[in-house]
């Protein structure tokens, strides 16, 4: 397990306590097929921190593919999180998740460490192999090489953050000890969380990741995943993403949504209490609401404060 005492501020914010922590995923305005209003996003980010959410997560969607139906918030995650860092105080800033095969490890190491420095160590780095088929030819990447590229990138990032003037090579290029990448992060390395299977085995993720981010899972499936994860990774944290929409009736039973539920706040309170009892460590909430600020306040007061 990553030593919480020696991890960066973002990791400590999410996993330094005893119970389940909660984050929100951008776009906070809910605008997924165009460019969100940045002033509204920043206002909602500040409100989320004020009411008690522990993290704000930005997605990496390099190109908009209308057939996929989701622009992912439109903004580049590094620029967005740097801007959010300047308008918040202590909330963790996460990527969910950077598509490693489409990013050069040297650029990646520099960008991530820069955001970590600018935010006083608040960056938690979700990384993935990607899932939008047309993006690979657009970047000149063979999708069959995704698994290898993820492994190479993770290895390179660890070395680039930890060592000065490293000697390192991969399919992306090579360093011969004459060049360094600056800045270095605020801690020895940044917390890396593979997302989904990332074209890797569970054993590889447990050994090379500082935790695991997964998509929404039914409770029985989640319990099985957690059992398997604990057998390989001990106490390294496990995170899932859940779409949440509050019904007008606080006692309403759940209706399935894509990767989540529409239900009354009372059902959600018990649902998240069960997830905490199962041993889940963090939830990235996709909050669907016509009035997102009010929904954040309700979630914080009725769920976060009550667990």
The string of DSSP letters for the chain reads ---GGGS-HHHHHHHSSSS-EEEEESPTT---SSPPPHHHHHHHHHHHHHHT--EEEE----S--TTTT--TTSS-HHHHHHHHHHT-SS-EEEEEEEEGGGS-HHHHHHHHHHHHHHTTS-EEEEEE----TTHHHHTT--GGGHHHHHHHHHHHHHHHHH-SS-EEEETTEEEESS---SPPPSSSS--EEEBTTTTS-HHHHHHH-SSEEE----HHHHHHHHHHHHHHHTT--EEEEEEEEE-SSTTPPPEEETTEEEE-HHHHHHHHHHHHHHT--EEEEEEE-SSHHHHHHHHHHHTGGG-
Question: Which pair of tokens denotes residue 56?
Answer: 């704000």
Name which residue leads in pLDDT, 32 or 81: 81
pLDDT at 2 over 70: no
**d(Cα 217, Cα 242) in Å, to the nearest integer?**
8
pLDDT for position 33? 87
Structure tokens at 145: 């090489």
Average pLDDT over residues 139-164: 98
For range 279-287, the mean pLDDT: 98
Average pLDDT over residues 165-194: 97
Tokens standing for residue 208 = 């090379």
Mean pLDDT of 58-79: 92
Question: pLDDT tens for residues 181-227?
Answer: 999 999 999 999 999 999 999 999 999 999 999 999 999 999 999 99
Phi, psi of 194 (to 5 degrees): -55, 145
What local confidence, expressed as pLDDT, does residue 230 receive? 97
pLDDT surpasses 50 at 1: no
The mean pLDDT value for 19-23 works out to 97
The contacts of residue 270 (CB under 8 Å, 6+ apart) are none
Residue 247 has pLDDT above 60, yes or no: yes
Min mean pLDDT across 64-73, 189-198, 273-282, 286-295 is at: 64-73
Percent with pLDDT over 70 in the chain: 99
Q: What is the CA radius of gyration of the chain?
A: 19
Q: What is the mean pLDDT of residues 230-245?
A: 98
Q: Residue 284 pLDDT more than 80? A: yes
Query: What mean pLDDT is reported for the chain?
Result: 96
Note the pTM of the prediction, 2 decimals: 0.96
Q: Residue 173 pLDDT more than 70?
A: yes
Per-residue confidence (pLDDT) for residue 69, from 0 to 100:
80
Report yes or no: 105 and 172 within 8 Å, Cβ to Cβ.
Answer: yes
- Helix axis angle for 38-51 and 292-302, nearest 10°, is 10
Domains defined for the chain, CATH in brackets? 7-301 (3.20.20.30)
Quick one: pLDDT at residue 286? Answer: 97
pLDDT of amino acid 175: 98
Instruction: State the pLDDT at residue 72.
Output: 85
The pLDDT-based confidence of 45 (bands split at 50, 70, 90) is very high
- pLDDT higher than threshold 80 for residue 134: yes
CA distance 49 to 28: 12
Give the dihedral of Cα atoms 41, 250, 277, 206; nearest 10 deg: -30
Chain position carrying tokens 């969607």: 61
CA distance 208 to 158: 10
């Amino acid at each position: 397990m990553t030593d919480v005492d020696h991890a960066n501020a973002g990791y400590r914010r999410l996993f330094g306590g005893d119970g389940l922590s909660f984050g929100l995923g951008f776009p906070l305005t809910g605008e997924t097929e165009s460019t969100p209003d940045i002033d509204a996003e920043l206002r909602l980010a500040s409100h989320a921190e004020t009411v008690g959410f522990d993290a704000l997560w930005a997605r990496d969607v390099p190109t908009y593919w209308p057939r996929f139906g989701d622009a992912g918030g439109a903004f580049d995650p590094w620029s967005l999180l740097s801007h959010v860092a300047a308008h918040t105080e202590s909330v963790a800033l996460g990527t969910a998740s950077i598509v490693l095969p489409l990013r050069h490890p040297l650029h990646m190491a520099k960008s991530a460490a820069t955001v970590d420095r600018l935010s006083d160590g608040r960056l938690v780095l979700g990384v993935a192999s990607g899932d939008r088929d047309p993006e690979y030819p657009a970047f000149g990447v063979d999708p069959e090489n995704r698994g290898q590229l993820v492994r190479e990138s993770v290895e390179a990032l660890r070395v680039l953050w930890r060592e000065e003037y490293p000697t390192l090579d991969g399919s992306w290029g090579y360093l011969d000890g004459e060049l360094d990448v600056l800045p270095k992060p605020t801690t020895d390395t940044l917390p890396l969380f593979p997302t989904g299977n990332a074209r890797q085995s569970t054993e590889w993720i447990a050994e090379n990741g500082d935790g695991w981010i997964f998509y929404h899972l039914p409770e029985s499936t989640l319990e099985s995943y957690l059992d398997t994860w604990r057998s390989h990774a001990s106490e390294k944290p496990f995170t899932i993403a859940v779409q949440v929409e509050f019904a007008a009736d606080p006692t309403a039973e759940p209706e399935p949504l894509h990767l989540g539920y529409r239900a009354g706040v009372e059902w959600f309170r018990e649902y998240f209490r069960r997830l905490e009892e199962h041993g889940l460590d963090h939830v990235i909430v996709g909050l669907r609401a016509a009035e997102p600020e009010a929904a954040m306040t309700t979630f914080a007061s009725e769920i976060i404060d009550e667990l």
